[in-house]
Amino acid sequence: MKINDWLKSNTFHHSTFWDLKKLVEEKEQQGLKISLCIPTLNEEKTIGKEIVIFRSELMTRYPLIDELAVVDSGSKDRTLEVAASYGADTYFSGDILPSQGFKRGKGENLWKAIHQLNGDIIVYVDADITNIHSRFVYGLVAPLIYQPETKYVKAFYDRPLAFSQGIRPSGGGRVTEILTRPLFSLFFPELTALMQPLSGEYAVRREVLEQIAFPIGYGVEISHLIDVYTRWGLYAFAQTDLDKRVHRNQDTRDLGKMAFGILQAFLNRAEQLDMVDVKAETSQILRQFQSREQRFEQQEFKIVEEERPPMIEIPEYREKFHA
Amino acid sequence: MTHETSTGSFDTDSAPDEAALNLVAEVKSCRDILLANLVMAAETPAPTFGEEARVRFLLDRFRESGLDHISSDEVNNAIGFLPGASNSRTVAVVAHLDTVFSPKEPHALSLGSDRVQGIGIGDNSLGVAVLASLPLLFEKLKFRPQYNLLLLGVSRSLGRGNLGGLRFLLENTRQKIDEAICLEGCPLGRLNFTAVAMMRGEIRVKMPDEYDFSRFGVHGAIYHLNELINRILEIPRPSRPRTSVVFGSIEGGNTFHQLARDASLRFEVRSESDEVAGMILQKIRFILEEVRARSGVEIELDEISWRDHGGIGFDHPLVQTCRGVMESLDLQPQIGPSMSELAALIAAGIPAVTLGLTRGHEVNTLAEEVEIEPMFRGIAQILGVLQALDDPAYNEKGAVA
C-alpha cells in the first residue's frame, strides 16, 4: 500500500499553495535561492508571455524566484531577443561550459543550467505553454519548501471539463499510457504513481540535480525518475496538479520518435541496474513509412540518446559550487 | 495648472514637459506588472452577460492591492474603492469588462517585443488591465488623492448588454460620482466628451411556414430584406444635426439555389439630436409595418440598445484638463462623440470623458493587436489627469462648471 500512502502524502493541488506571502516567508527563513530555467528552441510566440507573467508575479509582487533564465539550443527565430527584452537572462547553451562542447537537445540545456544558474532549487518550465500562470512555478517549488525530505517535484495536469460520476480515470498522455506506465509497471511499480512522468515541468534540489546523469534527448525525464528513485526512493518525489496545460499537440509520428528515444533511455538504465540483459545489438534508427503515388517508402530517423554525466563530475562545476 | 507628485511638478499648460516624461518613465518601470495584468485579463474570456471570471480576476487584483472596499453586485460589476484623504468628492475610473468574443474562441495572447496580439486586447482587456494596475501605480507614484477613487469594471456594456452594468450601478448606488474617466484600449489620443443619440436594432425577415416556395417567381427573405434596405436608405437624413444610418451586418439563406427562408440585418441610427434619431426610428418602424402588411412575410424589429445625445462642453474643466495633460505628453486629441459608457454617465448628469490607451490594429477581429510602447504614454495620460483632478485649482474651476 506504499503507493496509496505516497499519493496521500505527496500529491498536491496547486491551490494548496495559494498563500504566496507565506511561501516567500518560509523560503526566506530557510535561506533558499530559487532559479527558474526555461529551455527553448524557436519559441518566440510564447516566451515573452511566460517571462512577463513569472517576473511580475514571482519576482516583483512576491519574490519567490531569484533568477529567471532562458537557455536556448540555437533558435532561428527571435526567441532570445524577445526573452531579453522582457528581462530574462539569456544564454546559448553552447556558451555554457565550452570545455564540454555543445550537443543539441533539451536535456543539454537542462544540464548546462545546473552550472550556469545559482539557485539551491532549479525549476524547469517548458516554453510552449499558452495558458501560462504563476502556479506552474509556485505549485512545484512549494512542496520543496514545506517538506525538507522532498527532493524532486513533478507536474501533472488533471482538469476534466465535465464528469458526472465519482470515479474517473486519471493519467498522462499517449506515450505515458502506452509506453512509460506499462514499463514502470513491469520494472518499477512504485513509479507508476507519478501521474505524468514525462511532463516537462519540475522543480529539483541542486544536491540531486548535480548527482544525476542527463540524457540530452527524449529520455531525460524517464532517466531522472529511475535515477532519483533508485538512489533516494519514492518519498524523494512529490507531484502537483497544475490543472490544465495548453500546448502544441504533437502528431502520432512525432510521438513515435519520442517513444523510441524513451525506450532507448529506459533500456540503458534497466541494463545498468541488471534488470534486463539485451543480448542483441539494438539499432538507433527509427523507421517510419509514407506513401508516395501509391508506393510505400521507408523513412529513417537516427535517434541517439546521448548522455551527459552527473554535473558533480565536471571540474569547473566543482570549482564554482564546491570549492 | 500644476500638481506636485513624486515625479515632480506636473505642468499641464506647456509641452513637452519634463514631469510628464518622468511620469511615462515611472509607468514604464511597471511594465512587467502592466503586461502581466493585460495577459491575465485578456486570457480570461468575458462575453457580454458572462463576465464572472474576469470579475474574479479584477477583484483579486483589487484585494492584493490592499483596497479597502471591494465588492461585486448582482449584475457582475467589479468595484474597488480608495477613500480620499478629504473624502469630499468622488472620481470614478470605468472600464467595460466584456468583449465581443465567445469563450470558445482561442483567448491565448502572443506577446512580442513591441506588440501584444489576441482577441479583445484593445476592446477592452487593456482598459481592464489598467484599471487593475491603478492602485499599484498610485503606490509607485506615492499619490494619494484628496478625492475618493472609485474603480469600476462594468459588465454588460456591449451589444445587447446596452450598458446594463453601468446603468444598474448608477441607478442603484448611493455613492455620488462627481467626475468619471472611461478607459478604452484604442486609439491613443481619443478624447470623447459627448455622446450621440444612438439606436441599434436587428431586422429579421422570416418566410411563413405555410409559404408556397414552389410557385415560380415568388421571392425569399433576402428579396424582402433588400426592399427594406432600399426603403430605409430613402429616409431623408439632415446634414445638421449630423445623422446617419449604418448597416453593420447582414445574414440570410444557406445555398446558391434555394430561396432564403430567413434574413437579418443589424443596423444603427446615429444622430446629434435625440428627436431626429427618434423620428428616423419611427419611419423605419412604419416601413417595416407596411412591407409586412403588403407581402405577408414575418418581419420583426428587435431594438437592442439605445443612447441619448448629450455631453459636456469643450470648455468644461474636465475636458480642458485632459487636453492639457495630452498636450504635455505630446498627444494629439482626437475629438469625437462616443457611444460607450460615457453615454450612461452623461445621461446620469456626471461629467465624463473617454480616453484611449494605445495604438491598436484590427480591433474586434481575431487578429486584434495593440502596440506596447505607446501604452506607457497612454497610461501616463490617465495618471496625469487623475493627478490634475486633485489640484485645488481644478476644484475651483470644477465647482464653477
Q: Could you tell me where the DSSP H helices lie in B72-148? A: 126-141
Reference A150, options A310, A268, A261, A11; nearest CA is A11
The answer on pLDDT for B15 being more than 60 is: no
Predicted TM-score (pTM) of this structure: 0.85
Confidence of residue B229 (pLDDT cuts 50, 70, 90): very high
Buried b (16+ CB within 10 A) or exposed e, A1-11: eeeeebeeebb
Kindly provide the residue ranges of all beta strands, DSSP E only, lying in B278-339, ordered along the sequence.
298-307, 310-311, 334-335
Would the CB atoms of A48 and B40 count as touching at under 8 Å?
no
B17-61 confidence digits (pLDDT tens): 888 999 999 999 999 999 999 999 999 999 999 999 999 999 999
The answer on pLDDT for B244 being more than 70 is: yes
Among B36, B64, B110, whose Cβ lies nearest the Cβ of A45?
B110
Cα separation, A202 vs A123, in Å, equals 6
- pLDDT value at residue B400: 46
DSSP 8-state code for residue B161: G
**Would an 8 Å CB–CB cutoff place A87 in contact with chain B?**
yes
Cα separation, B276 vs B282, in Å, equals 10
The answer on pLDDT for B253 being more than 90 is: yes
Query: Would you call A248 helix, strand, or coil by DSSP?
Result: coil
- Superfamily of domain B2-195+309-400 in CATH is Zn peptidases (3.40.630.10)
Find chain B residues with C-beta within 8 A of A87's C-beta. 32
- Do the Cβ atoms of B181 and B350 come closer than 8 Å? no
Task: Tell me the CATH number for domain B197-307.
Answer: 3.30.70.360
Residues 6+ apart with CB under 8 A from A295: none
**Would an 8 Å CB–CB cutoff place A49 in contact with chain B?**
yes
Q: Which residue of B has its CA nearest to A62?
A: B64
Would the CB atoms of B43 and A131 count as touching at under 8 Å?
yes
The answer on pLDDT for B162 being more than 80 is: yes
Confidence of residue B14 (pLDDT cuts 50, 70, 90): very low
B264-321 confidence digits (pLDDT tens): 999 999 999 999 999 999 999 999 999 999 988 999 999 999 999 999 999 999 999 9
Q: What is the pLDDT along chain A (323 residues), one digit of tens a residue?
A: 589 999 999 999 999 999 999 999 999 999 999 999 999 999 998 999 999 999 999 999 999 999 999 999 999 999 999 999 999 999 999 999 999 999 988 899 999 999 999 999 999 999 988 889 999 999 999 999 999 999 999 999 875 444 445 555 556 688 999 999 999 999 999 999 999 999 989 999 999 999 999 999 889 999 999 999 999 999 999 999 998 777 667 788 889 999 999 999 999 999 999 999 888 888 889 999 888 888 888 899 998 888 999 999 999 999 999 98
CA angle, residues B315, B319, B325, in degrees to nearest 5:
125
The structural domains of chain B, with segments of one domain joined by +, span 2-195+309-400, 197-307
Would the CB atoms of A61 and B35 count as touching at under 8 Å?
no
Would the CB atoms of B112 and A44 count as touching at under 8 Å?
yes
**Would an 8 Å CB–CB cutoff place A60 in contact with chain B?**
yes
Find chain A residues with C-beta within 8 A of B109's C-beta. 49
Distances from the Cα of B397 to the Cα of A227, B194, B315, angstroms: 75, 20, 11
The answer on pLDDT for B6 being more than 70 is: no
Confidence of residue B8 (pLDDT cuts 50, 70, 90): very low
The structural domains of chain A, with segments of one domain joined by +, span 2-265+309-321
- Do the Cβ atoms of A176 and A262 come closer than 8 Å? no
Would the CB atoms of A78 and B113 count as touching at under 8 Å?
yes
**Would an 8 Å CB–CB cutoff place A63 in contact with chain B?**
no
Is the C-alpha dihedral spanning A138, A139, A145, A149 positive or negative?
negative
- pLDDT value at residue A166: 55
Cα separation, B194 vs B209, in Å, equals 46
Would the CB atoms of B112 and A130 count as touching at under 8 Å?
no
Q: For the domain with range A2-265+309-321, which CATH number is right: 3.30.1540.10, 3.90.550.10, 3.30.530.20, 3.30.930.10?
A: 3.90.550.10
Would the CB atoms of A46 and B110 count as touching at under 8 Å?
yes
- Do the Cβ atoms of A211 and A231 come closer than 8 Å? yes
- Do the Cβ atoms of B154 and B169 come closer than 8 Å? yes
Confidence of residue B16 (pLDDT cuts 50, 70, 90): low
Query: Would you call A25 helix, strand, or coil by DSSP?
Result: helix
**Per-residue 3-state assignment (H helix, E strand, C coil) for B204-269:** EEECCCCCCCCCCCCCCHHHHHHHHHHHHHCCCCCCCCCEEEEEEEEEECCCCCCCCCEEEEEEEE
Would the CB atoms of B40 and A246 count as touching at under 8 Å?
no
- Placement of cell 530555467 in the chain: A37
A-B contacts at Cβ under 8 angstroms: 48
Cα separation, A317 vs A214, in Å, equals 15
Q: Are strands A307-308 and A214-215 parallel, antiparallel or unpaired?
A: antiparallel
The alpha carbon of residue B132 is apart from the nearest alpha carbon of chain A, in Å, by 13
The answer on pLDDT for B94 being more than 60 is: yes
Confidence of residue B398 (pLDDT cuts 50, 70, 90): low
Mean confidence (pLDDT) of chain B = 91
Reference B23, options B393, B360, B382; nearest CA is B382
